[in-house]
Amino acid sequence: MRHAGGMTRLEGWPGVNDTRLKVGKRSVRVLRAGKPGGEPQILVHGLAGFSSTWVEVIEGLAAHGPVVAPDLPGFGRTPLLPGERISVGGYAKFVLQLADSLGWDRFTLHGNSMGGLIATMLAARHPERVRRLVLVSPALPPRSPVGFLMPSRTTVDAMVPIAMTSLGAAALGVAGRDAEDLGTRRDRRLLQLIYPDPDAVNPMVLDLLAADMSDEVMTPSQRRQHVLAATRSIAKLWTNPRHAWRAVDQIISPTLLLGGTRDALIPARVLRSVLARRRDWEGHVLEDRRHALMLEDPETYLDLVATWQARSADAA
Orientation angle between helical segments 114-125 and 88-102, nearest 10 degrees: 70
**Which pLDDT does position 190 carry in this prediction?**
67
**Which pLDDT does position 111 carry in this prediction?**
98
Contact 70, 26 (CB under 8 A): no
* Average pLDDT taken over every residue of the chain: 84
**Which pLDDT does position 314 carry in this prediction?**
62
160 falls in which pLDDT band (50, 70, 90)?
very low
pTM of the model: 0.87
**Residue % of the chain over a pLDDT of 90:** 62
What average pLDDT does range 155-161 have in this prediction? 39
pLDDT tens-digit readout, 4-46: 345 799 989 999 999 999 999 999 999 999 988 899 999 999 9
**Which pLDDT does position 258 carry in this prediction?**
98
Ranges 7-11, 86-90, 189-193, 210-214: which has the least confidence: 189-193
**Which pLDDT does position 212 carry in this prediction?**
87
Sequence-ordered list of residues with C-beta below 8 angstroms from that of 132, at least 6 positions apart, any chain = 39, 108, 109, 253, 254, 255, 256, 309, 312
Distance CA 243, CA 88 (A): 12
What average pLDDT does range 133-146 have in this prediction? 85
CA 135 to chain centre: 9
Q: Is the pLDDT confidence value at 106 over 90?
A: yes
pLDDT tens-digit readout, 197-255: 877 788 899 889 888 888 778 888 898 899 889 999 998 898 889 999 999 999 999 99
How are strands ordered across the β-sheet holding 41-44?
2-4, 7-9, 17-23, 26-33, 67-70, 41-44, 107-112, 130-136, 255-260, 282-286
How many CB atoms are located within 10 Å of the residue 224 CB? 16
188 falls in which pLDDT band (50, 70, 90)?
low
Q: Is the pLDDT confidence value at 73 over 70?
A: yes
CA-nearest of 207, 164, 162 to 184 is 207
Contact 183, 206 (CB under 8 A): yes
What backbone torsions phi and psi does residue 299 show, to the nearest 5 degrees?
Answer: -65, -45
What average pLDDT does range 61-88 have in this prediction? 95
Identity (one letter) of the amino acid at 55? V
